[in-house]
Amino acid sequence: MRWTTLVALVAVVLLGGGGAAHAAAPPTEFGTDWDDPRTAGPPVAVPPTHSCTVRIVDHQFVNFDVYTNAYMPPADCAGPWAKVVLRMSGAVAGRQFDRLGWLEIGGVTVLKTSTPEPSPVGIRWSVEKDVTGYAPVLRAPAQVSMFLGNIVNETFTGVLDIQVDLTFYVADRAHPAPASASDVVPLPDLRDAASTAPVTLPRNAERLVAEVYATGSGGGCEEFWYLTAPPASGYSCPADQGPYREVQVLLDGQVAGIAVPFPHVYTGGWSNPFLWYVLPAPRAFNVAPLSYDLTPYLGRLTDGAPHTVAVRVVGVPAGQPGWDTPVNLLAWRDPKATQVTGTVLADHLDALRNDSTFSVVDGMNQVLTTAAHHLAAVGMLHTSHGIVTTAVDERLSNDSTHRFGAEPGENPDNLTAEWTDTATVATAGKVTRAALRYAIDGGITVSADNRLTTTITMTDAADTAAAGRDGFQFRRLDDTYSGTASYTLGVPREQRHATGTSRERYRLTGDTCFDHTIETANGFVTSDVRRC
């Protein structure tokens, strides 16, 4: 019997099916098997209405080919839908690196994900995502495309066995369909963040939002962009402007939206896969898009002519690859107007403040970075229900301290960094505010006896609020992961004697309550507690 199964059985007996499992001690080090990966985040809430499930992916990924399939809307759940949930299930055994992939329906990116690294015995994991906002795409037949680049050979034996289902929950009077966008326009040509794409928007569009699924990836320096340093530092990942990155959306060559990217850490990250075998870093399995409200600029875009959209990642060294930035444009139409007209009343982009300085302090190399940027725009639209003014204010900041050894190998290598991204939108008597905060506090050391130890804490936090005629809503998210793991370098896997502990606490407060904490030791869950 697997150790995890024994713990689960004891927990059920002692705790009535919930709470923490403490009855069995974890192994003294990692072995050839460990618990299946999981996260502490909440499941997608679904209504108790009639539902139908459609399988859109059933494939074993063994190379870099794009899998394609045909999607058909469910005949027995024709819509409208109160909720549509995407569920991805995966299995892999043997030896394999973490892989980054994406899923498109009708060219629209609906999921971006990375994979866990397997045990020799094998693991299973799952991802769940609310995709109700893509309902316009799901109403008609479309092509499904999924990419999960993988290498299978005598060394890397892990085959990624993936299934993806869409479950449609039919709306009724008690559970109506949400007011999703009228049109979802994909711009896959922008995937490499180095080109422009033409787009013609509906002439009667009255709201416009861009989604950018931005990731630094590919195993190069831009996967760990937040650790790059000025060339004078001698660091192995140089960047002329230091570690600050910013993802900009441009309309007809003009910056119309700014955002800081999330500092993703995949399951082989920070030189230590033992940190992530059971608990991945926040967002690793479900990469959330950056969101930009572009409504103030709509008066320039509803003339029926094509306009160019581009994505630019600020701070990337010239010619440096590694960013993947697929874009979706979501448009809401005015159903009683054939054309919405308008103008941009104000548009101001502050000069970017990006100071990254290198020095040597107490024998350690040190890079201090302070950055900030601000964009404000106000636009007016003539709609069928009157003049509507939309004001958007976006404020970004980044402060980081990167200290690393002067000796070869940059040992130790430590980072303390925080990013904030606050967007306020005021329109039609309603004000919404999303204040995002990301943080990393971590370090890697190699001891004299060749033991590599990584210790890290990551935080994904957000305060979201909305005030209007319908009242006031507020929600606070705090998803914090902390862990430490050690193993011996340069020896076969069975001689690494790896040890590690990790903990994730995911909390939602405000208009809801969700509080879930998972703790692990040497690959097995030792505590699983829900407080709400």
* pLDDT band at residue 409 using 50, 70 and 90 as cut-offs: confident
Q: What percent of the chain has pLDDT over 90?
A: 88
In this prediction, residues 369-383 reach a mean pLDDT of: 98
In whole angstroms, give the CA distance from residue 133 to residue 131. 5
CA distance 435 to 27: 41
Q: Does position 9 have pLDDT exceeding 80, yes or no?
A: no
Which stretch of 159-168, 175-184, 203-212, 402-411 has the lowest confidence by average pLDDT?
402-411
Give CA–CA dist 387/469, Å, rounded: 18
Q: How confident is the model at residue 516 (pLDDT cuts 50, 70, 90)?
A: very high
Residue type, 224: F
More confident: 72 or 193: 72
CA 291, CA 182: separation in Å to the nearest integer? 17
Average pLDDT over residues 176-182: 94
Domain map (residue ranges) of the chain: 3-30+181-530, 46-179
Largest CA-CA distance found in the chain, in angstroms, rounded:
73
Q: For residue 31, give the amino acid letter.
A: G
What's the confidence (pLDDT) of residue 193?
63
Residue found under tokens 């725009």:
377
Provide the Cα torsion 102, 192, 251, 331; round to 10°: -10
Fold adopted by 46-179: Jelly Rolls (2.60.120)
The C-alpha atoms of residue 38 and residue 17 are separated, in whole angstroms, by 18
**pLDDT tens per residue across span 271-294:** 999 999 999 999 999 999 999 999
Residues in CB range of 495: below 8 A, 6 or more apart: 488
DSSP 25: P
Angle value at C-alpha 78, between 75 and 80, nearest 5 degrees: 165
Number of neighbours of residue 223 by Cβ within 10 angstroms: 21
Our CA dihedral for 333, 339, 342, 344, rounded to 10 degrees, sits at: 60
Whether the pLDDT of residue 446 is over 50: the answer is yes
Q: How far is 123 from 267, CA to CA, in rounded Å? A: 14
Mean local confidence (pLDDT), 32-56: 97
- Position 7 scores a pLDDT of 39
Q: Looking at the DSSP assignment, which residues form a beta bridge with residue 455?
A: 443, 484
Average pLDDT in the 53-67 region?
98
Residue 175 has pLDDT above 50, yes or no: yes
Residue 470: its pLDDT value, please? 82
**Which tokens belong to 158?**
């892990």
> Taking 70 as the threshold, does the pLDDT of residue 206 lie above it?
yes
Quote the mean pLDDT of the chain: 93
Using CA of residue 373, residue 214, residue 317, residue 368, what is the dihedral sign? positive
What contacts 471, CB < 8 A, 6 or more positions away? none
- Residue type, position 10, single letter: V
- 526: tokens are 């030792």
Confidence band for 8, pLDDT divided at 50, 70 and 90: very low
Q: Which one-letter amino acid corresponds to residue 47?
A: P
Each residue's pLDDT tens digit, 297-349? 999 999 999 999 999 999 999 888 889 999 999 999 999 999 999 999 999 99
The three-state secondary structure class of 292 is strand
pLDDT band at residue 192 under the 50/70/90 scheme: low
Stretch 450-459: mean pLDDT: 98
Residue 371 has pLDDT above 90, yes or no: yes
Instruction: Give the pLDDT score at 10.
Output: 36
pLDDT tens by residue, 126-164: 999 999 999 999 999 999 999 999 999 999 999 999 999
**Whose CA is closest to 128, among 154, 165, 101?**
165
Alpha-carbon Rg for the chain, nearest whole angstrom, is 24
Q: What is the DSSP letter of 275?
A: G
- CA-CA distance, 101 to 103, in Å (whole number)? 7
> Tens of pLDDT along 461-491?
999 999 988 889 999 999 999 999 999 999 9
Which token pair is 219? 């195993």
Q: Residue 330 has which token pair? A: 């979501």
Peptide linkage before 141 cis (omega within 30 of 0): no
User: pTM of the prediction?
Assistant: 0.93
Q: Where are any strands of DSSP class E within 323-363? A: 323-324, 327-333, 341-349, 353-361
What tokens does 132 get?
Answer: 């109700």
Q: At residue 20, does pLDDT exceed 60?
A: no
Question: Which pLDDT score, from 0 to 100, does residue 79 have?
Answer: 86
pLDDT (tens digit per residue) in 223-273: 999 999 999 999 999 999 999 999 999 999 999 999 999 999 999 999 999
Q: What is the DSSP string of 464-505?
A: EEEEETTEEEEEEEEEEEEEEEEEETTS-GGGS--EEEEEEE
pLDDT number for residue 437? 98
Measured CA to CA, the distance from residue 71 to residue 144 in angstroms comes to: 6
Residues in the chain, overall count: 532
- DSSP one-letter code for 77: -
CA distance 346 to 110: 33
